Chain A
């Protein structure tokens, strides 16, 4: 029995985190996750601030899914103060959100390919991801941390030139993603390193409350919050995807499937957008109250719960991010990892985001504080 520490700086980790793997020979048995390197106290900074300043802090909870964070935050504020945003802004929000979902999924598939040493495929994916980043930059004005949402609507409108450009880029991108997907499915290296490795069974989901693509790859189709979200009910092209294997391969294929549905959804949203007119922002007042909003982030269910005062001050806020639950599921996946390298690849396949997760969270076992997240 030996313990192998991985991190806090490691080539495949984008973020600082330390995993202590307990090994029996070469087989990992258990893992202990040590956190605290990214704790900035975002929720505490937000207290007493204006909503519009908290919005930028919420965006920087995580850089990869920054738009979804701000989307859920501002929808929560609008839910509490009963503000209805104009139709145009609604479609623009969905459009940007789905574009970001594509970029986030592609990034993590690329990171997975890099972690299993399939560098060519990783570079292909990173290259086609740049197309989506261009679209994001064109619409919002920034590649990451867009600052696109504001209270009562969105920052800027898009014009006809942009719409044609989005259509053109999507056509090109769809072809690319098809070849990439084919390469991913047929490559022998990927098959060796990811099939039947890191299996999460359906019953283990219930134990760990795993969410997002991790849960959907193990057969829990209903874990998609978009099914129950008001904007997505009217979209015809939207349907959740799921697979039953629950291994590393299935998790990545679920992401590929979602990307395809995202592309269809973007096309439908653009058509709907062209039919409606009107402003992109509306005048509004913030009223005090308490409420919560759930939305499907790229990694799983994201919840914002907050209490507001009149004139829009945040009294207290609670953010529940998906990685907290998915990291708990990582322990169960380790049982089917034959080597340390596979343990690392499995870690990447759950799409961890540590900067999301590091809110102050005490887990007490036997009267002692065991984890401080």
Chain B
């Protein structure tokens, strides 16, 4: 490199530096720990698109975009909004992001992960199916005797459990709705302090408080014109005004609990040929969707009540329970339901009839039952043959 051209080039560069009044390199090298914005995506292959970084960002700087190269959603950090707090780096469960050695130095240390959507499991709705536990990518859902429980401090709010839960027992506490509820609470409290609160009956039932999702914010307690004991989760004195329902951020205070299935097209069905009658499914079901046929002593699932949690199918020792479409199941189970109802009515009638005969009650009951059942069988057989034609249940003939 001794050619004169090279020297000319160097001289030109130096003159340019002087004229521009700008150093090419910054003279001061920042120390190792300086968190220069933005955090970098160091290992994009490891990313599981859980949105933990997006949830933990206090400045709303991160958004997820689909990446064609890696074929998944990757976080995109907005340089303009980043405040270099390094929350995203510590919240990431797989260690994708990095901001100047921060992840290396703090690996394995406890970090209370903040999030804008907090997930909680409503124990009154939970059917104990355990699907959330299977789905959770970081294994923080714990099984308890009456419900499942999310460890809030470690949860990254990926919402996988929320998507899979068959009954909607997992509730989301959103930052925005929380803020709205607090605003509404302050409005009502101002009215209450001026004595302008309209206390007229708006609800017809005394609400109760679910201890599983109550966050003890005390909104209901402060607004209530009656009395609420938050330590024991009890409504002591109710005036039926319904304001507590309006201000509760999680919906923990409520009048009734409805367990409704999310998936309304499918249901589980017990194959009667394979069933061995062990009744494990009957004991396991939390929504009482399984009843035992009084005719053949084999359990069947009521499609309207089934929430497709799949717990019975999991526990069945002979794999007799399968998922089918609701219409298919309804056709076959309808008969069992009608049968059971009729038998129930008859039994009740017999009981009332035999009340008068105290001593021979058991004896009479048995005789009557058997006779009526025989008669009924004949009747039902004829009827079903008429309705269903040749497709009628063959077992009936035996």
Contacts and interface: CB of A to CB of B under 8 A. Distances in A.
Asked if chains A and B are in direct contact (CB within 8 A), the reply is yes
A137 B31 contact: yes
A110 B116 CA distance: 42
Nearest to B102: A141
A57 B181 CA distance: 21
B58 interface: yes
B91 to A, nearest CB: 10
B30 A155 contact: no
Contact of B83 (A56, A281, A285): A56
A138 B31 contact: yes
* Most chain B beta-carbon neighbours within 10 Å: one of A145, A279, A288: A288
B117 to A, nearest CB: 10
B115 interface: yes
A7 interface: no
Of listed A50, A56, A157, A309, residue having the most chain B CB within 10 A: A50
A315 to B, nearest CB: 5
B33 A152 contact: no
A142 B37 CA distance: 11
A58 to B, nearest CB: 11
A53 interface: yes
A277 B182 CA distance: 43
Given A57-B58, A281-B110, A137 B152 contact: no
Nearest to A151: B112
Contacts of A279: 109
Q: Which of B112, B182, B249 counts the most A-chain CB atoms under 10 A from its CB?
A: B112
A339 interface: no
Contacts of A286: 112
Contact of A49 (B56, B175, B183): B175
A309 B31 contact: no
Contact of B112 (A137, A152, A307): A152
Contacts of B118: 50, 311, 313
Interface in B351-398: none
Contacts of B100: 141
B153 A285 contact: yes
A13 B241 CA distance: 54
A346 to B, nearest CB: 35
B216 A147 contact: no
A309 B114 contact: no
Interface in A273-304: 279-286, 288
Contacts of B173: 313
B215 A155 contact: no
Given A56-B58, A137-B31, A147-B86, A309 B110 contact: no
Nearest to A47: B182
A312 B35 contact: no
A180 to B, nearest CB: 23
B82 to A, nearest CB: 12
Contacts of B84: 142, 147
Interface string B75-87: 0000000011111
A150 interface: yes
Interface residues of B, number: 44
Given A48-B175, A151-B112, A152-B112, A56 B85 contact: yes
A283 B110 contact: yes
Nearest to A45: B179
B114 A53 contact: yes
A311 B215 contact: yes
A134 B59 CA distance: 26
B112 A313 contact: no
**Interface of chain B, main secondary structure:** loop
Contacts of B30: 137
Contacts of B249: 48
Contacts of A315: 182, 217-219
Nearest to B31: A138
B272 to A, nearest CB: 47
B34 interface: yes
B12 interface: no
A325 interface: no
Nearest to B186: A316
A82 interface: no
Given A141-B102, A156-B33, A309 B109 contact: no
A183 to B, nearest CB: 27
Given A288-B216, A312-B112, A48 B182 contact: yes
B131 interface: no
A311 to B, nearest CB: 5
A309 B216 contact: yes
Contacts of A120: none
B217 A288 contact: yes
B112 A150 contact: yes
Nearest to A49: B175
Contacts of A139: 33
B85 A156 contact: no
A126 to B, nearest CB: 16
Interface in B292-342: none
Give the residue among A52, A147, A279 with the most B Cβ atoms within 10 A. A52
Contacts of A51: 112, 114
A164 interface: no
A309 B175 contact: no
Contacts of A151: 112
B196 interface: no
A156 B106 contact: yes
A52 B155 CA distance: 14
Given A283-B110, A285-B153, A137 B58 contact: no
Contacts of B111: 150, 281
Contacts of B113: 52
A316 B219 CA distance: 11
Given A53-B58, A137-B31, A141-B33, A309 B215 contact: yes
Given A284-B112, A311-B152, A312-B112, A138 B33 contact: yes
B178 interface: yes
B105 interface: yes
Interface in B26-64: 30-31, 33-35, 56, 58-59
6 contacts: A49-B179, A52-B58, A52-B114, A150-B111, A288-B216, A313-B173
Q: Which 6 A-B pairs have the closest CB atoms?
A: A52-B114, A48-B179, A48-B178, A141-B33, A309-B217, A53-B58
Given A152-B112, A311-B120, 20 more contacts: A48-B181, A49-B175, A52-B56, A52-B113, A56-B59, A142-B84, A147-B35, A147-B84, A150-B111, A281-B109, A288-B217, A288-B218, A307-B218, A309-B215, A309-B217, A310-B215, A311-B118, A313-B217, A315-B182, A315-B217
